[in-house]
Chains A and B, each alone.
Chain A
Amino acid sequence: MTKRIGIVISLLAILSTSCEKRLFSFVADIDQIQTYQIDQTGAFEIGRVVSRSDVLAILDIPQDAYVTDVKIQTIAVSVTIKEGNQASHVKLTATVNDLLSGKEQVFRDYPVPLTGKLGIANPWSPVTLLLDRGINKVKNKIAGYVKNNDPFDYELILEGDSDPVSQRVVADIRLKIVATVEYDACIEVFSVFSGGKECPDAKNALGP
């Protein structure tokens, strides 16, 4: 009799279980790419404006997500050599310029070889010498956008010169910033299988 009752209870537990909302952690990457077209003998400096809407357009997270953190994963460079280029290397400095908090360098005098076939983009190469304060400023701008507390654009400035100097550089230089948005979201799961954490009040959602 006990066995019968046990089987019936197990069966009912599986078939009649209710659903509940639980909080789980997720990540979503944002790839931002800026292209700088260079045709210059001597030092060059080009700025590109990044807006909140640019960043949010490539972010795919639920409207009611709770953004917990933003991290910068990678800064990478890819070069496309153009007709007329004479330089074998270029030294690049990237700077983030925020109207409110000023400028910070993301990397400085980073050597990039100008090799490869004309008109063909070289594979992405990570920048391996990055500066904490610049990375932190980019991170704070993106975090401000996704948490909806920073509406202001920022500028990503690329400057440099050929190495050795005063050779003609004709190239498209692409700069990629990969950021990771960490967020929590409440999703519906069966009660008997639920993991995750208790859902907080939806009014505290930080999603844009």
Chain B
Amino acid sequence: MNGSKNSALLALLMLIFAGVVNAQDLQTTIAKYTSENGKGYLQPLADAFGANLNSGLYHQARIKKSGLQLHFALVTMTAPIAEDQKTFTATTEDLFYPKTTVEAPTVFGRSENIAVEGVGGTAYIFPAGFDIKSVPVAVPQLSIGSLFGTQATLRYIEIDLGENWGPLNLYGWGIRHSINPYLPSLPVDLAIGYYRQTFKIGDIIDARTSLLTAQTSLTRGVLTFYGGIGYESSDLDILYQYETTDEAREISFDLQGQNSARLTFGVGLRFGPLQINSDYNLASQNVLVIGVGAEF
């Protein structure tokens, strides 16, 4: 049997990025699907990945008017996978006769193939999912300020995945501004922020996210309660070559993340410079955030 082929895939690399699934097996499985089935199979992954990246970008809304305000953290975002993200409506492909539509597992669905019987004892197999209950992502994050009540946030990861894939690159930036100087009587801290991120793996995966938020927080002793509302978008383009014995097909998916509006509730705990926070984001795709870092 062959080793891993150079061609193909994958959104699955995002699963690798998340540390969940092995590349070659996922690559082989996804090669079964081309366009619409591939979209349906991978859509929940795009939803979870986009929602994850748009999370954990803030842990309070207090921004100094001026002077050094530095926060460095490792932020983990975990998207729990709901039952309705585990199946999609799939139709047989690749000349299978007769054409048949069934409910098949998504990439997060049950780890059991679904068989559809055709003529003369033939069968079409819809690939199993990976029975994944949640998708975690971890990123380093630096926030630096403040200038006129404004703070910048940066995320950056670059990993060389070798010649088959090219570099994995995550770059994110954000800017937020305190509203309190304009409304000095406010009993809570209030800020607005805008964040953009790009995620690329060679020429195969190109993802973009953006988030516009209003953030608030209230600090009592070592505890900070925070929250916010946000409007977000994410999209994920996947392009890869799939080689059969008689042709090389170029397969591309353009997946839009399902999330648009989100509500965030969180709490932070501070011991000197050490800070731990956790929040939960309610949206079409919910996300749990846990961050640990140092703030000066």
A residues near B (Cβ < 8 Å) are 3-4, 7-8, 10-11, 14-15, 24-29, 31-33, 56-63, 71-76, 107, 124-126, 128-132, 134-136, 139, 176, 178, 180, 182, 185, 187-190, 193, 195-197, 207-208
Structural contact, B292 and A11, CB atoms closer than 8 A: yes
Structural contact, B95 and A7, CB atoms closer than 8 A: no
Tell me which residues across on chain A come within 8 A of B260, comparing CB atoms. Answer: none
Distance between A33 CB and nearest chain B CB, rounded to angstroms: 6
Structural contact, A26 and B29, CB atoms closer than 8 A: yes
Ordered by A's residue number, 11 sampled pairs between the chains whose C-beta atoms are within 8 Å are: A25-B112, A25-B113, A27-B113, A58-B2, A60-B3, A74-B122, A182-B113, A185-B25, A187-B25, A190-B20, A193-B132
Distance between A181 CB and nearest chain B CB, rounded to angstroms: 9
Which of chain A's residues has its CB closest to B98's CB?
Answer: A128
Secondary structure call for the B interface: loop
> B residues 251-276 with Cβ under 8 Å of A?
267, 269, 276
Structural contact, A59 and B1, CB atoms closer than 8 A: yes
Structural contact, A28 and B28, CB atoms closer than 8 A: yes
How many contacts between A and B, using CB within 8 angstroms?
Answer: 155
Q: Is B219 an interface residue (CB 8 A)?
A: no
CA distance A185 to B22 in the complex (A): 10
Tell me which residues across on chain B come within 8 A of A134, comparing CB atoms. Answer: 120
Do A139 and B121 contact each other (CB < 8 Å), given the known contacts A26-B25, A28-B28?
yes
CA distance A29 to B127 in the complex (A): 11
Picked from A24, A74, A75, A124, the residue with its CB within 8 Å of the CB of B128 is A24
Q: Is B97 an interface residue (CB 8 A)?
A: yes
Picked from A8, A27, A60, A129, the residue with its CB within 8 Å of the CB of B119 is A129
Most chain A beta-carbon contacts within 10 A, residue among B3, B24, B123: B123
Structural contact, A207 and B121, CB atoms closer than 8 A: no
- One digit per residue, 1 when the CB lies within 8 angstroms of any chain A CB and 0 when it does not, for chain B 276-296 equals 101000000000001010000
